[in-house]
Structure 1
Amino acid sequence: MRGSQQFKYGMYQLADHFFGRKKFFKDRAKYYNDLVAELKKHGEGRIMPVERRKDLSLEEFKNHYVRKGIPVVMEGAAKDWACVQKWSLQYFKDLHGDDEIVLVDQAAKDFPYELTTLADVIDNIRSGGSKYYRFYPLLTRHPEHLEDFDYKWLRERRTNPVWFDAFQVFIGGEGSYTSLHNANQSNLFVQVYGEKKWVLYSNYYAPIIDPSPVRNVYRDAPAKVEAGPFNPFELKFEPPYELFRYMDGYSVHLKPGDVFWNPPFYWHAVKNVSDSIGVGYRWLSPFYSFKMSPLYMSLDCMATNPPIWKAYSLYRKDINELHLAEVKKLEEAKKKIAQQETVKKNEPGVPV
Structure 2
Amino acid sequence: MSESLNKSQLRQYAYYALLDHFIGRKKGKSLTIKSRKKFYDNLFNDLKRNGEQQLIPIDRRKDLSDAEFKEKYLKRGIPVVFEGAAKEWDCVKKWSFDYFKSLHGTDEIVMADQYKIENPYEKLTLGKLIDEINQGSGKYYRFYPLLKRHPEHLLDFDYEWLRSKKNRFSFLEAFQVFMGGDKTITPMHSANLPNLFTQVVGEKKWVLYHPNDTAIIDPDPVKGIYRSAPFKKKEGPFNPFKPDYSPPYSLFNYTSGYSVHLKPGDVLWNPPYYWHAVENVGMSIGVGYRWCAPLYCYQLAPLYAFLDTMVVNPPIWKSLKFVQKDANLIHLLEGGMLKEYLANQKA
Tell me the TM-score normalised to structure 2 length: 0.95
Distance 2:152 2:119 in 1: 31
SS where residue 216 of structure 1 aligns?
coil
Q: Which runs of 5+ in 2 are unaligned?
A: none
Task: Verify: 1:84 aligned to 2:96, yes or no.
Answer: no
Give CA deviations for 1:312-346 in whole Å, capped at 9, x if unaligned.
1112110001110111111111111122xxxxxxx
Task: Verify: 1:101 aligned to 2:109, yes or no.
Answer: yes
Q: Which runs of 4+ in 1 moved over 6 A?
A: none
Q: Do 2:204 and 2:278's aligned partners in 1 also have CA atoms closer than 8 Å?
A: yes
Distance 2:18 2:100 in 1: 44
Task: Verify: 1:322 aligned to 2:330, yes or no.
Answer: yes
Distance 2:41 2:312 in 1: 33
Equivalence map 1:117-196=2 (5 Å): 117-196=125-204
Distance 2:160 2:118 in 1: 39
Q: Do 2:173 and 2:289's aligned partners in 1 also have CA atoms closer than 8 Å?
A: yes
Specify the alignment match of 1:59 in structure 2. Answer: 67
Specify the alignment match of 2:313 in structure 1. Answer: 305
SS where residue 240 of structure 1 aligns?
coil
SS where residue 219 of structure 1 aligns?
strand
Deviation of 1:216 after TM superposition, in Å, equals 2.6
Task: Verify: 1:284 aligned to 2:292, yes or no.
Answer: yes
RMSD over aligned Cα atoms? 1.2
Percent of matched pairs sharing the same residue = 56
Distance 1:217 1:123 in 2: 31
Q: Which runs of 5+ in 1 are unaligned?
A: 340-352
In structure 2, relative to structure 1, the CA distance for the partners of 1:303 and 1:165 (3 Å cut) is: farther
**Deviating more after overlay: 92-101 vs 127-136:** 127-136
Give CA deviations for 1:19-72 in whole Å, capped at 9, x if unaligned.
123323233111111212221221222011111111111111111111111111
Structure 1: which amino acid aligns with 2:84?
A: G
In structure 2, relative to structure 1, the CA distance for the partners of 1:300 and 1:111 (3 Å cut) is: farther
Give the number of the structure whose alpha-carbon radius of gyration is greater: 1
Specify the alignment match of 1:26 in structure 2. Answer: 33
Specify the alignment match of 2:44 in structure 1. Answer: 36
Distance 2:152 2:254 in 1: 47
In structure 2, relative to structure 1, the CA distance for the partners of 1:272 and 1:12 (3 Å cut) is: same
Q: Do 1:163 and 1:286's aligned partners in 2 also have CA atoms closer than 8 Å?
A: no
In structure 2, relative to structure 1, the CA distance for the partners of 1:156 and 1:308 (3 Å cut) is: same
Deviation of 1:2 after TM superposition, in Å, equals 2.4
Residue number among 13, 23, 28 corresponding to 2:17 in the alignment: 13
Q: Do 2:224 and 2:330's aligned partners in 1 also have CA atoms closer than 8 Å?
A: no
Q: Do 2:191 and 2:272's aligned partners in 1 also have CA atoms closer than 8 Å?
A: yes
Deviation of 1:107 after TM superposition, in Å, equals 3.2
Q: Do 2:199 and 2:267's aligned partners in 1 also have CA atoms closer than 8 Å?
A: yes
